[in-house]
Amino acid sequence: MPKRRRNGTEGNRTIVKRSRTGPARHLLDISDEILLRMLSFLAIKDLLNIECVSRRFRSLATDRELWKVKYYDTWIRSRARNTPLIEGQDDSKRRAKAAEWLRHGHKLRNNPSVDWKRQYKIRTNWASGKAKFRELEVAYPPSPPVIAKVCQGMIFTVDRLAGLRAWSGERSLKAQLRLEPSTEATCMAVDIIDGEFHLVLGFADGSFSTYLYTDEKLFEPRSTQHSDDGPLTGVALAIPYIMTVSRTNLLALYDVETSTARESAPPAASRIAQLQSDASFSPVSLSLRRTPGNLTAAIAYAFNRLQSGWCLGLQEIRLTPAGTLLDSRLACSVETPLDVRYQGRDKRGISTRSASSLPVSLYPQLMSAPTSISYKHPFLVGTLADNTIMSFLVTSNEEKLEISSGRRLWGHTSGVSDAEVNNRGKAVSISCRGDEIRLWELEPVMTANSQPRTSTEIKAVHSLPNISALARRASGLGFAVQNMKREVSLTRRWVGFDDERVVVLGERDRKQVMALYDFT
């Protein structure tokens, strides 16, 4: 039915709207407490977009307490909720593990100095493998290979020509100390006490020296200890203790007096334990661990056992806080050798889902020694030339020392040259050519029967400007990350990491190159 047309009088009449009673109300009139409550329900992507609305919303969307809750719910509560049940373990232990993660989360929440938004970003980038890429040439021929360590945002390097150097996470040189031309450093260790970095360098003549990196961005030499042990191949530091291992298979543990004032005589080092091996073990990994009741010095090594293949061994020296030797004990992974075969195994016991993380047989030509070993209690890993990694859990307490059954981990597409693990189960490994770096979360890998994804490959999101070292290269070398594989092969020698970055040392065109992958 057609609408009825208005007459002339109705068409000329102006309709007047009723005015509002009271002032107009806007979203910004709401108090900050209510707005924060509203923002807490937003997804992370929407929360980041809110920051661009205004200064007030930027201040609210970056609130520390807001991001603390986001971090806790995403990385602490969810991990505690999804704590896997270990085979043969009752549910009470699973609940205890979840409670441990919650206590760890509460400890983080009570830390007033944490930037929670920054921590959330770092954890997200670690999980996805996304990192900003920087690169720097740090040494030139005929300098021997550079030795490096990463510790809480600082990178320490040492070589014969440049000496001892400290680099910040922004790739800038902070301090440098020239060494004697005749001294050649072979190993290095770093420890941090009360915000001060303590370093120890082992040399080819069997001696070692300690240094202090001060707040004035200077290296302060502290002491030098000479010995007849032979060239040092490894050193570990946990103030006031130093552990060394030499090429002559001699392990020594020292106590360095640190109570001496800096202005007085240099501190002296006294040898409190010594072990001599009749066999040669390589590679090895040294570890010093403090516990409330004692100090534990450990050495992890690889050995070839007849009819069993390569295995990992672990020896611990336990001492009292006063330095008195308690005992020494051994453990090995004989039950799960690195090249375990199917003989004596029930193949039906290995399911299709779990076979990707269990040891399997190798071809005889691939049965070689591990390329590297890394031990940070309770995680022990060994890298192999057949593109795999063996991971173990170590149980060390007052009653026993034992190494669990190992898990063989796949992910690399070429031989693995080096890996490092920390005491929280995070590990980084690198291939022989250096074109593949992978991140591992070993705790879920070691406690679950099957894992859909065991590792993540680091992907450089973009190169940063002002990289003058790259500009000095030949014209065939470019900045773009996608062209890195087409460049001259970079032979990687070492990989290390901390909570924010991964550092790789390698060699290209006979030049020592330091690559930095930043997750901030």
Q: Quote the strand ranges of 169-268, DSSP E.
A: 173-177, 185-193, 196-203, 208-213, 219-225, 232-238, 241-246, 250-256
Contact between residue 91 and residue 85 where contact means Cβ atoms under 8 Å apart: yes
Q: Kind of pairing, strands 130-139 and 511-518?
A: antiparallel
Measured distance CA(482)–CA(478) in Å, rounded: 9
Residue position matching structure tokens 């898990």: 407
Q: How many CB atoms lie within 10 A of CB 341?
A: 16
pLDDT at 185: 92
Strand order across the 250-256 sheet: 232-238, 241-246, 250-256, 269-276
Q: Which long-range contacts (CB under 8 A, 24 or more apart) does 466-475 make?
A: 467/134, 467/135, 467/136, 469/135, 469/136, 469/137, 470/135, 472/137, 474/509
Closest CA to 311 of 363, 413, 387, 380: 380
DSSP assignment of 370-408 equals -SEEEEETTEEEEE-TTS-EEEEEEEESSS-EEEPPPEE
pTM: 0.78
Closest CA to 136 of 173, 83, 81: 173
Q: Kind of pairing, strands 459-463 and 130-139?
A: parallel
Q: How far apart are the first and last CA of the chain?
A: 68
The two tokens of residue 362 are: 């190798």
Interior/surface letters 74-89, b for 16+ CB within 10 angstroms, e for the rest: ebbbebbeebbebeee
Contact between residue 517 and residue 460 where contact means Cβ atoms under 8 Å apart: yes
Q: How many CB atoms lie within 10 A of CB 211?
A: 22
pLDDT at 294: 85
CATH fold for domain 29-123: Monooxygenase (1.20.1280)
Contact between residue 312 and residue 380 where contact means Cβ atoms under 8 Å apart: yes
In the chain, where are the structural domains located?
A: 29-123, 140-518
Measured distance CA(251)–CA(374) in Å, rounded: 17
- List Cβ neighbours of 255 (8 Å cut-off, separation of 6 or more): 240, 241, 269, 270, 272, 323
Q: Which one of 1.25.40.340, 3.40.50.150, 3.40.50.11610, 2.130.10.10 gives the CATH number of domain 140-518?
A: 2.130.10.10
- List Cβ neighbours of 135 (8 Å cut-off, separation of 6 or more): 467, 469, 470, 513, 514, 515, 516
CA atoms within 13 A on the CB side of 266: 12
Closest CA to 218 of 187, 275, 178: 178
Contact between residue 362 and residue 339 where contact means Cβ atoms under 8 Å apart: yes
Residue type for position 13: R
Task: Compute φ and ψ for 335, nearest 5 degrees.
Answer: -65, -25
Q: How many CB atoms lie within 10 A of CB 266?
A: 14
CA atoms within 13 A on the CB side of 89: 15
- List Cβ neighbours of 105 (8 Å cut-off, separation of 6 or more): 72, 76, 77, 80
380 to each of 294, 397, 422, how far by Cα in Å? Answer: 21, 16, 9
The two tokens of residue 514 are: 């330091």
pLDDT at 290: 84
- List Cβ neighbours of 134 (8 Å cut-off, separation of 6 or more): 171, 463, 464, 467, 515, 516, 518
Task: Please list the pLDDT of the chain residue by residue as tens digits (520 residues).
Answer: 565 555 555 555 666 666 666 666 677 778 889 999 999 999 999 999 999 988 999 999 999 989 988 988 888 776 655 554 444 444 554 455 545 544 555 555 556 678 899 999 999 999 999 999 888 888 887 777 889 999 988 999 999 888 999 998 666 889 999 998 888 899 999 999 888 899 999 999 999 999 999 877 889 999 999 888 889 999 999 988 999 999 988 999 998 875 444 455 566 778 888 888 887 777 899 999 988 778 899 999 988 876 667 888 999 998 887 778 888 899 988 766 665 433 333 333 332 233 333 343 444 434 678 889 999 999 999 998 888 898 999 998 888 899 988 888 888 888 888 999 999 889 999 988 777 899 998 888 777 665 556 789 998 886 443 333 333 334 444 444 444 443 445 566 789 999 999 999 888 777 888 889 999 8
- List Cβ neighbours of 192 (8 Å cut-off, separation of 6 or more): 151, 152, 198
Measured distance CA(444)–CA(170) in Å, rounded: 32
Measured distance CA(292)–CA(503) in Å, rounded: 32
pLDDT at 484: 45
33 to each of 36, 41, 47, how far by Cα in Å? Answer: 5, 13, 16
